[in-house]
Every structure is written in structure tokens, then in C-alpha cells.
Amino acid sequence: MSSYTYKKKDVRSFIVEIYAKGLQPSQYLSGDEIEVLIESIGIFKFKGYLYAFKSDFTSHNLDEVFVLYFFDKYLTQYLMDLTFGVEAKLKSSLVELCYQKTTNPFFYLARRYHKNPQFYINKETLKNWKNLPITQNVSGAQEVYKHYGMYYRQKYDFNSNQARYLGQETLITLTNDVNYPPFHYLIESATLGVLIYFIKSLKINNFDILNSIASSFGVNQSGHFDSFLERLNEIRNRAAHRGRLFNRSYRSVTGFGKFNTLRSSVSNHRVIDVILFLLFLLNKLNIYQTYSDFEHDVIDRLFFDFQTDYDVGRDSFGLLNKLSNAEFGAIRGFMLRAMK
């Protein structure tokens, strides 16, 4: 294996280089607009969209690369919104199921309620609840944190709650100077990764939380739902870090119900399967009788909304409005094939 050799690139020399490789110039953007766009995107990220055409650069142009980028950015927003919906549903289900089985709002700190005897809460989550000095009368502070950190730490203290709710319990590893909140407070402020960590670990007597939440989402086996949660986390992480989405491969999961029926028309590892997966978790697939119904309502609408989006038009110097219907249709077809 050879060692890496760094080659410095600036935007102008990079543009010259990609034209030399055979990519056709933009038909609608000026040289200055092209430089601004590539500089704002970043050369490294831009390459990911450029290389979608690497098998035949000469048949494509720079405008198409920009459309790929802006569509992927739009797709990111769409997928993030879907994952936020699933996350909210998971949090609601988790809190409701746990409080059906226990009236102790601090139960999660007792070791016997975890399948993993080494369970611990990470520092980033605990940082929200540390007993930091709080400046009184800070304008707006109490309102902003009404249900979380500042408000809670001003009114409650963990020592009294520990004595009242956890007196005889063997506890998980606790951190000094943390005002551990009730379970529903902690979960509401938790990240998706921490939420999944709790779902996989918690049990209340013989009541397995993972099994129960799986059932509430229409998944019959917790082993399959474990992979559902991993896929959900993968999607969120890629979208949150603005990784390329439209033509990437994703881990697959076992299909259930309408999700299993509709996905037969697409690859289990592509982004349309991811969209079906998220809509299934949100219980939004039952209105579709066939995959064609779903694609017409969801995917076609996604492309239409993208093409007419104000922010996309502004940020791309009006590129989408300048493309002919045939040009947009061709690049849409290219993206759709990669998504399926």
C-alpha cells in the first residue's frame, strides 16, 4: 500500500481539472456563480456528486452535478423531518410503557431495571443536569428552560429524590454533582442515540421494553426491531452530518406489513426503501395500495417540491428555473434510478 500524497487544490484549478476530464461546462451559470457555489459546497463534498457521473463524464455537464447536490440537500431535510417524527413517537411510547409498569420516576437509576449490568449514562447527556451555578434573574432563562435544566435544578434536588425513591436500590454508576431528573425529563432531552440505548437496556421485572415498543410499531419480534433502531440511527447520523444520501447503500431490515409489500419494487439497500421504512414506523403507508401509488404521491411530490422550492432556487442562482423540462426530466430519471 502506498502513502497518501496531499495535493493542494483551489476552486479555479479544480474547475479546470474537471473540464479536462470531459465534464461539459455549465450552460446556465456564469464563471463567478460556479466558483461561489463550489466554494460554498466545498471541493471534497462536491466530488461525491461529481463522481456519480464518473463512468461517462462526457455525457454530462456541471449543471447536473449541482442539481444532484441541491436535491440531496433537500432530501436531507425531508429525511430529518421523518426521523424527528419517529424519534418523538419512540420517546412517547417509551415513557408511556415504562410508567404503566412503575410509578417510580427515578427507576432508571436502579441496576435491576437494566438488562445490561454495566449500563451507564454518558457525559454528554448528564451535562444537561449538572448542578452548575445558576445566575438568577437572567432575562428569558426561566422561560427557555422551563421544563429542563435550569428550571429543574432551581426547584429540585437529587439527594431528597434518591432517599425517597431509591433508598434500598443498588444503583447504576452515578456521577457526583448531577441532579438526576425524573425519567420523562431525561428522555425528552435525550439524543436519538441515547434514546435507543435506553430502549435496548430497560426491563421492568419481566416486562421487556424493546419487545413492547416493537409491538407498538407493528414489528412482531424485538430482534428485528433492534435492527430497525440501528437503521434509524444510521439514517439520522448520515443526514445530520450532511452525508450524501440519494445514491448511497443502507443496511437492510426485515419488512413487515405494508412496508414489506411495497418495498418489493425497490432495492432493500436504497433510499426509497429508507423512506418506506420511515413512513412505516410513522404508520403512514396503509393508504397506498401499490408501490406506484406511493411513488406518485410521495416521490413525485418530493421532486416537484424540490423543483419549486424558494430556497433551492435562490441558493442555486435560479438554476432549476433555467433548466428545460427535458433537462430536468433527464436528471430526475438519473436520480430516481439511483434511489431505487
Interval 299-308: pLDDT, tens: 999 999 999 9
Q: State yes or no: pLDDT of 132 exceeds 80.
A: no
User: What is the DSSP code string of 65-81?
Assistant: HHHHHHHHHHHHHHHHH
Number of neighbours of residue 211 by Cβ within 10 angstroms = 16
Q: State yes or no: pLDDT of 282 exceeds 60.
A: yes
Residue 139 is predicted with a pLDDT of: 46
Sign of CA dihedral 236, 241, 247, 252: negative
Distance CA 308, CA 233 (A): 30
Nearest to 26 by CA among 67, 72, 56, 54: 67
CA distances from 44 to 11, 50, 114, 157, 187 (A): 11, 10, 43, 49, 37
Strand-pairing partners, residue 24, are: 61
User: Residues of the chain with pLDDT > 90: what percent?
Assistant: 79
Give the tens place of pLDDT for each residue, 38-60. 999 999 999 999 999 998 999 99
Backbone angles phi, psi at 204, to 5 degrees: -120, 105
Residue 2 is predicted with a pLDDT of: 78
Residue 267 in 3-state DSSP? coil
Backbone angles phi, psi at 27, to 5 degrees: -95, -10
Amino acid sitting at position 206: N
CA atoms within a 13 Å half-sphere pointing along the CA-CB vector of 265:
14
Give the tens place of pLDDT for each residue, 136-167. 444 444 444 445 666 777 788 899 999 999 99
Q: Where are the domains of the chain?
A: 11-60, 61-104+191-340, 106-181
Which helix (H) or strand (E) covers residue 203, if one does? strand 203-204
